[in-house]
Amino acid sequence: MKNQYTFEDIEAYLAEEQTEEERRSFEADLEEDVRLQEAVKKHRLAHQLTSAYVAERTRGQVAEVFNAHRRQKSGRVIPMGRWAAAAAAVLVLLVAGYWMISSPQQSAPALVTSYFEPYPDRVTTMGSEADALTEAMAAYNAGRYEEALTLFGALPQGSLQMELLNLYTGTAALQAGQMDLAEQALAQTARSATAYAPAGQWYLALTYLQQEKTALAKPLLEELRQGGAYKQKSAAELLDQLP
Amino acid sequence: MFRKNIITDEALVKSISAGGRSEARALEYLIDKEYPKVLHFVLQHGGNDADADDVFQEALTALVLNIRRSQYKGESALGTYLFAIAKGVWFKRIRKVGRDRDRDQEVGRSSETVDLSTPETPMIAADKRQTLLEVFENLGEKCPDVLFLWASGYNMEEIALRAGYSSAQAAMNRKNKCLKALHAQMDDNPILVDLLKNLR
């Protein structure tokens, strides 16, 4: 390579911010230098990925406006006379004012506290033998989440279906404040092709909200709301309350 | 507040470019005004209400992206432009499932040339979408917003203003730092590399 190019140089080339002379020199090097070609290719891929992110984020924003607007429309009443409409508007303002004063908007973590319920024990039954799994679930059921995490981690392989184990591990980690572990475990269940996937999505959304990563939580909640089964109502309520 | 009968295309474009609540109100206006036409069209062409919802949202997304990237030049009315995109989305969809009756005839009648060729426009599968969002959300402080604004076509002065940087240079430095973090993710994260393969 005739010249050593920095990250910023390559960005300037792709943004067409170089002088004519710089561009000519850069392109001459580009033609001959395989490593520079690779570097430029990687920059282009990163741009492509960023464009995909913009498209997906925009798609989410549009869906949010569309669904909220349609819900609002479908709840709208038959047109009234002008005075009746004015009276109704005043009433709405009074109620909204009272609501705003009496119930300030909750933060995302506060909403998690309101909506969190541990995923129910689908493993142990009355009279289960006192094995490692039963012990782990007993800690989980008693809300001793840090202990449960240790015990889940020590379970022999095959004790429990992996997606279910990840679900319990993630839920316990969320409550124990171990967010990285919660995200990792719940994401695996959420992406699985099992019946536990919606539960994984729900608890993963709560994990994101706990960390105020609202933009990540919303698509998961939207999917649950549209899914029409697991936690549909709670997901819809949460979406309405999120900023 | 918008008065629905007098709002101009120029005002709508400005509102969409501005983002935030102003953008949301412009989109609501377009939903009220243009969705019924798209619904009618989709129903006339063998689709149902759910298809119309999907098609309209996809078209509105493409419209917003095109406005932000200054690809909408105002050569046709915004509603006409949106409807042309929606028709394109619908025909693409029926072509995909092999129901392409009337397509050539209808496309031949359309006077609009709509750019839907951006590689990222096709929907990404839900799990990959989540991965993509997660990667960007975790790149570092303000990176999601800075990269979002940059790739949406805003210049560095606008990005500095919107993201709270003291100068265009500071915004540019942040953008490059965020892109470096993305490059590191591309090296470390095989899922991301797979996602890139699917995008190409």
pLDDT tens per residue across span B26-82: 999 999 999 999 999 999 998 999 999 999 999 999 999 999 988 898 888 999 999
Reported confidence tier of residue B138, pLDDT bands at 50, 70, 90: confident
Taking residues B2-7, what's their average pLDDT?
A: 56
- CATH superfamily placement of domain A110-241: Tetratricopeptide repeat domain (1.25.40.10)
What size, in residues, is chain B? 200
pLDDT of residue B37: 95
pLDDT band at A104 (very low <50, low <70, confident <90, very high): very low
pLDDT digits (tens, 9 = 90+) for A216-236: 888 888 888 887 678 888 888
ipTM (interface pTM): 0.82
Averaged over A147-170, what is the pLDDT? 83
Residues 205-234 of A with CB under 8 A from B: 213, 215-216, 219-220, 223
This prediction has a pTM of: 0.58
- Going by pLDDT thresholds of 50, 70 and 90, the confidence category of residue A81 is low
* Packing angle of the helix pair B126-137, A214-227 (nearest 10 deg): 160
d(CA B13, CA B27): 10
pLDDT in tens, B17-42: 888 888 999 999 999 999 999 999 99
Quote the pLDDT of residue B115: 46
Domain boundaries, chain A: 7-103, 110-241
Tell me whether B61 touches chain A (CB under 8 Å).
yes
Which A-chain residues 103-162 have CB contacts (< 8 A) with chain B? none
A156 by Cβ neighbours in 10 Å (0-12 / 13-18 / 19+) ranks as: exposed
CB contacts of A43 in chain B (<8 Å) are 179, 183
A160 pLDDT above the threshold of 80: no
Instruction: Give residue B3's pLDDT band: very low, low, confident or very high (50, 70, 90).
Output: very low
How far away is chain B from the Cα of A125, in angstroms, using its nearest Cα?
A: 34
Is residue A161 pLDDT above 90, yes or no? no
Tell whether the model's pLDDT for residue A125 goes beyond 60.
no
B137 touches chain A (CB under 8 A): yes
**Whole-number pLDDT of residue A228:** 67
B85 touching A, CB under 8 A? no
Specify the pLDDT at position B172: 93
Q: Is residue A68's pLDDT more than 70?
A: yes
Grade residue A86 by pLDDT with cuts at 50, 70 and 90.
low
Q: Which of A138-152, A166-180, B97-111 has the highest mean pLDDT?
A: A166-180
Percentage of the residues of chain B whose pLDDT score is greater than 70: 80
Average pLDDT over residues A131-146: 82
Query: How far apart are the C-alpha atoms of B148 and B175, rounded to whole Å?
Result: 10
Distances (CA, A) of A16 to A20, A24, B67, B159: 9, 12, 21, 18
Confidence of residue A71 (pLDDT cuts 50, 70, 90): confident
CB contact under 8 A, B176 and A7: yes
**What is the mean pLDDT of the segment spanning A202-220?**
89
Question: For B92-121, what is the mean pLDDT?
Answer: 54
3-state SS of chain B: helix, strand, coil percent to 5? 70, 0, 30
- Residue B3, CA distances (Å) to A151, B11, B25, B78, B140 in order: 62, 12, 11, 17, 41
Segment among A66-75, A117-126, A209-218 with least mean pLDDT: A117-126
Nearest to B186 among A45, A51, A62 (CB): A45
Q: Is A89 on the interface with B (CB under 8 A)?
A: no
- How near does any CA of chain B get to the CA of A75, in Å? 15
Instruction: List C-alpha distances in Å: B152 to A50, B57, B181.
Output: 9, 18, 19
Of A70-74, A86-90, A136-140, B175-179, minimum mean pLDDT range: A86-90
